[in-house]
Amino acid sequence: MARLFCYLTAMALTILALPVRAEDGYDLWLRYAPAGQARGTDISAHARAISAQGDSATMASAKQELQRAVTSMTGHAPALTTEPTAGSLWLATPGSAPAIPVSLKGLGAEGYAIRSIDHAGQPITLIAANSDIGILHGIFHWLRLAQTGASLDGLDIRSAPRIGLRLLNHWDNLDGTVERGYAGQSIWDWWRLPDYKGPRYTDYARANASIGINGTVLNNVNAKAESLSAPYIAKAAALADIFRPYGIKVYLSVKWTAPMELDGLKTADPLDPKVAAWWKAKTDEIYRAIPDFGGFLVKANSEGQPGPQDYQRTHADGANMLAAAVKLHGGIVMWRAFVYAHDNPDDRAKQAYDDFKPLDGKFADNVMVQVKNGAIDFQPREPFHPLFGAMTKTPLMMEFQITKEYLGQSTHLTYLGPLFKETLDADTYAKGKGSTIAKIIDGSLDGHRLTGIAGVANIGIDRDWSGSIFNQADWYAFGRLAWNPDLSAEAIAREWTAMTFSPDPRLIDPVVAMMMGSREAAVDYMTPLGLAHLMATGHHYGPAPWVSELARPEWNPVYYHKADADGIGFDRTKSGSNAISQYAPAIARRLADPATTPESELLWFHHLPWDYRLKSGETLWDGLVHRYDRGVAYVAGMQRTWESLRPLVDPERFAQTEAFLAIQHREAQWWRDASIAYFQSINHLPLPEGAQAPAHDLNWYKARSFPYAPGHN
């Protein structure tokens, strides 16, 4: 016994002495950190065994995830049983366990119920669903409870996704670059697929399944025809095989002229029978390799991409031709409403509405129109897109941008939860008060069965996936809101922080507070009061409100702010572009008058004199400057908060965030100073009392150039 004791002592010391695995962010919110003795015992008591009968790949993944997680959190590996036993997690579907003591009605194919029950006198936790995928979602819910310190007793949870298609859009190119990617190259190793399938693909699927994402568009909407060639179909199929057990379908972006480029057709006219036949045959080829292929995403007649309008056909003609090809296989077409630049518009913000509103009712029933949250392009703040509420006969799919092209890219901490929520909660008044965008995209307002939401991924090959630890929160928040748009951004931030760092409230409270104000801070230091699109050309990194010489008017920041000696802002009322008429009358009336327009959107809708009085009583100019300063000050505050958390965060992740906050603070100051220097050169107004002059003159800011900025296509 003494020898055994010594042996075990030695072993314990041996193992304790091993270097701890660096917190490099790879594990995302699935860290399953050791829970401590008390909590570990609690978790163990609820996971003594994993009881399940199914043996599908999905069920195997669910069991494996539970084993890995519980073992890592508690140090005790749960047993595997087929019948539920005391303290077990019982994974039950109608197919594997006929007598489930909970109703599965309303849970659909992906939802689940979790209930603490007595089973033959034994306390167990039932995770029940209509399908194995539902079970997988359920175990991730239970693991979220376990990781965040929630009670595991008396559970009675029912959850099903509100939105049917919850997709990531990867703007990943076949050469490994990522358009608007700030986290390194694409995680798709196209070159070595389908032969080499590294472990990262599985971890990608796990992460997505854990937040309910059920589809992924693999390639950039600015697509290459080769994505549909046989070798690339085989590569996509290899990924689909890996993702399938996690309930994630694969979709592809297509280039409109693929039939011409790949097979020498003379036209891509959607009404040409040869073109339709080509797409039919190509679709059949894809479905032979990927039987559950999801469908196509199309960017057509936008920013130089070809499309049906090149053949005097409508977007609906194009979408419906593709829809017919995928229909038999159960596939869908997602047709993007992000179109601009046919002609110089009177107002770029109006074009999508003008092009698509007349097509409402003309799309096949397996077509969705995918609409960005705002009418311009993923700005720090935009009013909601006027197509929401305007196309009641067409299922509209939301397109958010998770990658922060305009919100600080890889280094600024600007949590997007509040941005997503602002759009989802926006009331379109399409069918009276309460016609929120969430109700439009979940289909409830207009009675659509086909529903969807997409997020442009912020994922790359960087070890931490998203370019920074805090950018992971945006991926997480997108998934959680796609499942349930009613969640609050703050509750999501709390979950994420608890799982990513620690459930210690000394850490959670200040981190969540930082996160919650961070997006508004970016609005303040970049584009306050409804300004937009003042970023530098091409890479959109940093301020360049002075740019005025690009070929098309709407490429220039001056087009958006319209600042002159007298005032600033884009008049979208009747006296201007009248874009406000695209909204429901109740909204349009409010927006017609600056006094009833939310100040956060003031200069989006109105051109106002510099001495216009804000609600605070200060002039528009003074209010602008004060907002710039407030944004910079918020970042300084985040730096102080983070510094105070040093004892509670591992050195590696602490150092990354510390470095990035320093960059953010410097760049917030740069935005503020460059913007003020420029606007002062136009309005010649003094700064409000106490405001610092910019550190450099305007020419200094204009001269800065960044030829190697990432993410630029």
Q: Which of 55, 195, 365, 504 binds a copy of itself (CB under 8 A)?
A: 195
Q: Is the Cα torsion angle 304, 309, 314, 317 positive or negative in sign?
A: negative
User: Does the CA dihedral 525-416-379-485 come out positive or negative?
Assistant: negative
In whole angstroms, the minimum distance from the beta carbon of 5 to a copy of itself comes to 5
CB of 141 to a copy of itself, least distance (A): 22
What is the token pair recorded at 147? Answer: 């990781």
For position 411 contacting a copy of itself by CB under 8 A, the verdict is yes
Cis previous bond, 194, omega within 30? yes
Among this protein's residues, is 667 annotated catalytic? no
Q: Which of 156, 175, 303, 365 is catalytic?
A: 303
Which one of residues 342, 652, 681, 697 is an interface residue with a copy of itself (CB under 8 A)?
A: 652
**How many CB atoms are closer than 10 A to CB 575?**
10
- Minimum Å gap between C-beta 377 and a copy of itself is 22
174 binds a copy of itself (CB under 8 A): yes
Binding segment toward a copy of itself, per CB under 8 A, in 192-200, 430-438, 447-455, 506-514 = 192-200
Give the nearest distance from C-beta 653 to a copy of itself in angstroms: 11
Question: In the range 110-139, which residues lie near a copy of itself by CB under 8 A?
Answer: none
Which residues, 220 to 279, sit near a copy of itself by CB under 8 A? 226
* The binder of a copy of itself chosen from 9, 103, 575, 616 (CB under 8 A): 9
Residue 372 region by backbone torsions, left for phi larger than 0, else alpha for psi between -120 and 50, else beta: beta
Residue 41 CB, shortest distance to a copy of itself, in Å, is 10
CB 124 within 8 A of CB 100: no
184 binds a copy of itself (CB under 8 A): yes
- State the nearest-atom distance from the C-beta of 190 to a copy of itself, in Å: 7
Phi and psi angles of residue 52, each rounded to the nearest 5 degrees, phi first: -160, 150
d(CA 246, CA 133): 7
Instruction: Annotate each residue in 446-475 with x if it binds a copy of itself (CB under 8 A) or - if it does not, as one string.
Output: ---------------xxx------------
Nearest to a copy of itself of 357, 712 (CB atom): 712
Q: What is the DSSP letter of 68?
A: H
Which of 75, 358, 553, 686 is the binder for a copy of itself (CB under 8 A)? 75
Strands 112-119 vs 122-128: parallel, antiparallel or unpaired: antiparallel
462 is catalytic: no
**Contact indicator for 186, 460 with CB cutoff of 8 Å:** yes
Q: How far is the CB of 634 from a copy of itself (least distance, A)?
A: 19
Q: Is 71 near a copy of itself (CB under 8 A)?
A: yes
- Whether the CB-CB separation of 23 and 61 falls below 8 Å is answered with no
Q: Which letter does DSSP use for residue 20 in this model?
A: P
Helix, strand or coil, per DSSP, at residue 384: coil
Confirm or reject binding of residue 39 to a copy of itself (CB under 8 A): no
Which one of 53, 56, 72, 488 is in contact with a copy of itself (CB under 8 A)? 72
Residues 339/301, Cβ–Cβ less than 8 Å: yes
> Which residues contact residue 264 at a Cβ distance below 8 angstroms, ignoring those fewer than 6 apart?
none
Write the DSSP symbol of residue 564: -
Interface with a copy of itself (CB under 8 A), residue from 87, 123, 149, 176: 176
Answer yes or no: 405 catalytic.
yes
Pairing of the two strands 367-372 and 332-336: parallel
Pairing of β 396-401 and β 367-372 = parallel
**Catalytic residue numbers?**
303, 377, 405
Per CB under 8 A, residues contacting a copy of itself are 5, 8-19, 21-22, 24, 68, 71-72, 74-77, 174-176, 184-185, 190-192, 195-199, 226, 410-411, 461-463, 652, 656, 659-660, 662-663, 707-710
